Amino acid sequence: MTLLDHIVATPLFEGLSRRQHEALTRIAVNRSYKKGQTVFSEGDKGEGFYVIMSGRVKIFKLSPEGKEQILHVMDRGQIFGEVPVFTGKEYPAYAEAYTNCSLLFFPKDLFTGLIRKDPSLSLNMLALLSQRLRRFTTLIEDLSLKGVPGRLAAYLLHLSNKSSNREHFELDISKGQLASILGTIPETLSRVLGKMAKQGLIRSKGSHLTILDRATLELIAVKGKKLDNS
Amino acid sequence: MTLLDHIVATPLFEGLSRRQHEALTRIAVNRSYKKGQTVFSEGDKGEGFYVIMSGRVKIFKLSPEGKEQILHVMDRGQIFGEVPVFTGKEYPAYAEAYTNCSLLFFPKDLFTGLIRKDPSLSLNMLALLSQRLRRFTTLIEDLSLKGVPGRLAAYLLHLSNKSSNREHFELDISKGQLASILGTIPETLSRVLGKMAKQGLIRSKGSHLTILDRATLELIAVKGKKLDNS
DNA sequence: CGCTCCGTTGAAACGGTTCAACCCACGTGG
DNA sequence: CCACGTGGGTTGAACCGTTTCAACGGAGCG
């Protein structure tokens, strides 16, 4: 796959002209990272943003005591590190290679130069940021208004919906990492999974997940609290 | 103050040409709301966004049980409701007049038409969205990684920094609302304020706030947990 | 005066975390 | 091939911060 192919396949660059795609190709820089390597740290000066060509990248916050809150786990085709491109400030979170991965780096100044020339590129970027904002509002809602069972149920249903098999799928991350996405710790996650299994809502074996009672799960996801007798 | 004056004074429209300002004036619609009136609800179709000319607007999420999590309290000159303009979806939260207020409404389609023509307008909008994302990442961090004392300390220091008198200022919202901003309830806030006062960190009388021990407060804001003997 | 609204206080209950122990699958090296 | 260590996951018991529920106080106002 050529550089141009990757750029054409990137959702952010959808609908742009051939000319624009080529211009993007000219300013993009190829960078590779090994699993566990940090791409940037919170507070680093933001020199540009990244597009994932292959592999996955974890975006997260870190508390002084070392506990992490995962904001996203980014996949192929997705963008990260774009915030400081437009605020002119530092990266607001950490980015770390979750697997070996190769990324495209777009330097801030060259990219804003392109934006100045093509409104459709900026509209795509506006859409991307807005979507991300939308996602964050629901994350905030979940963290402050729902309990762990509610967040877990929502996450499982989310996975289920975008997997080919509606009722049966694999966790694409470790349970420890899932705990961090849900804003909790492995112990708590384990207990909640256990309780859900005991109530016949799900079946959990390793990274193997089965949804048995979708209706109740949806109820929990929306109500957010309690996980008792129905 | 004319419509044009308001538009010129809006940060989002800073640095635009006279021509652009006039074009914005032409598409803006004036709308007034009484205190407590809802501007839009979560799930409403997003027809456009708003700029505050006077008064204040509360943006918040609501749990099924009725508990609210405030995302912002917007002031004069600020923008809200812009997310669905670019995602094409619904408003992701509620907006309610916190005081009597008059707003400028910008219809989605007319506005994106302007953006298509002027890259500098879109760059301003990109900067705005990025700032908002940045703010949300710290809100998420606070909610999931810090306790109430940490969030309160951070908020007080924030207020202190942007008030004319560094050590002495007024809460611009009720304590009940502050509790909702901090993702907690009035009772808990009251207790934490009480404890901070007993430890000589602050003095709190009504909406009157005094910071006595800024250093320890900063420590709490960053460490996020515990509020004990130093 | 008596009403309501907001803030405060206390006691009990709850959800989640902490800490510790333990299990198991896995890979490594003797 | 077995011994060993390691990392992810699970389980139990104690602990802690926050919420819940209920009662109360004070300020503002008809």
pLDDT digits (tens, 9 = 90+) for B165-186: 889 999 999 999 999 999 999 9
Over residues A75-131, the pLDDT tens digits come to 999 999 999 999 999 999 999 999 999 999 999 999 999 999 888 899 999 999 999
Residue B58 has pLDDT above 50, yes or no: yes
pLDDT tens figures, B117-145: 888 899 999 999 999 999 999 999 999 99
Å from B73 (CA) to D4 (C1')? 59
Of B65, B87, B144, the CB nearest to A143: B144
In whole angstroms, give the CA distance from residue B97 to residue B34. 6
How far apart CA A96 and CA A60 sit, in angstroms, is 8
Q: Give yes or no for B147 touching A (CB within 8 A).
A: no
Instruction: Kindly state the helix (H) or strand (E) to which residue A109 belongs, with its residue range.
Output: helix A108-117
Question: Measured between alpha carbons, how far is B68 from A44 in angstroms, rounded to an integer?
Answer: 34
The first and second tokens of residue A14, run together, are 């959808």
Contact B71 A117 (CB under 8 A): no
**pLDDT band at B163; cut points 50, 70, 90:** confident
For residue B181 the two structure tokens come to 């901003």
Domains annotated on chain A, with CATH: 3-133 (2.60.120.10), 146-223 (1.10.10.10)
B26/D4 CA-to-C1' distance in Å: 78
A8, A52, A124, B100 from A11: Cα distances, Å? 8, 11, 9, 42
What is the per-residue pLDDT across B77-114, written as a single tens digit (0 to 9) for each?
A: 999 999 999 999 999 999 999 999 999 999 999 999 99
Instruction: Express each pLDDT in A121-135 by its tens digit.
Output: 999 999 999 999 999
pLDDT value for B187: 98
B12 within 8 A of B85, measured Cβ to Cβ: no
Number of H helices, E strands in chain A: 9, 11
Residue A136: CA atoms inside 13 Å, Cβ hemisphere, count?
24
pLDDT per position as a tens digit, A3-27: 999 999 999 999 999 999 999 999 9
- pLDDT attached to residue A226: 61
Query: pLDDT tens digit string along A187-196?
Result: 999 999 999 9
Residues of A in contact with B225 (CB under 8 A): 65
Nearest-angstrom CA–CA distance, A63 and A72 = 16
> Could you tell me which chain B residue has the CA closest to the CA of A133?
B133
Whether A228 has a pLDDT exceeding 70, the answer reads: no
Grouping H, G, I as helix, E, B as strand and the rest as coil, residue B150 is: helix
The arithmetic mean of pLDDT across residues A42-70, rounded, is: 95
Q: What is the pLDDT of residue A137?
A: 97
**Residue B224 pLDDT exceeds 90:** no
> Which letter, b or e, does each residue of B68-88 get, where b requires 16 or more Cβ atoms within 10 Å of its Cβ?
bbbbbbbeeebbbbbbbbbbe
Chain A with chain B: Cβ pairs closer than 8 A: 142
**What number is the average pLDDT over the span A132-141?**
97
Residue A197: pLDDT band (50, 70, 90) is very high
Q: Which are the contacts of B76, defined by CB distance < 8 A and separation ≥ 6?
A: B52, B53, B54, B55, B56
Amino acid present at B213: D
Q: Which of residues 93-112 of A touch B (CB under 8 A)?
A: 93, 112
- Cβ–Cβ under 8 Å, residues B125 and B24: no
DSSP A24-42: HHHH-EEEEE-TT-EEE-T
Q: What pLDDT sits at residue A117?
A: 87
User: Which of A137, A138, A185, A220 has the highest number of chain B CBs within 10 A, making it the mutation to test binding with B?
Assistant: A137
B23 — alpha (psi -120 to 50), left (phi > 0) or beta? Answer: alpha
Average pLDDT of every residue of chain A: 94
> Residue B230: its pLDDT value, please?
44
- Per-residue confidence at B227, pLDDT binned at 50, 70, 90? low
Which residues of A fall within a CB distance of 8 Å from B82?
130
Predicted confidence band of residue B223 (pLDDT cuts 50, 70, 90): confident
pLDDT range class, residue B225, cuts 50, 70, 90 = low
Written as one string, the DSSP assignment of B28-51 is: -EEEEE-TT-EEE-TT-B--EEEE
Q: Strands A29-33, A101-107: parallel, antiparallel or unpaired by DSSP? A: antiparallel
Please report residues of B whose CB lies closer than 8 A to that of A40.
none
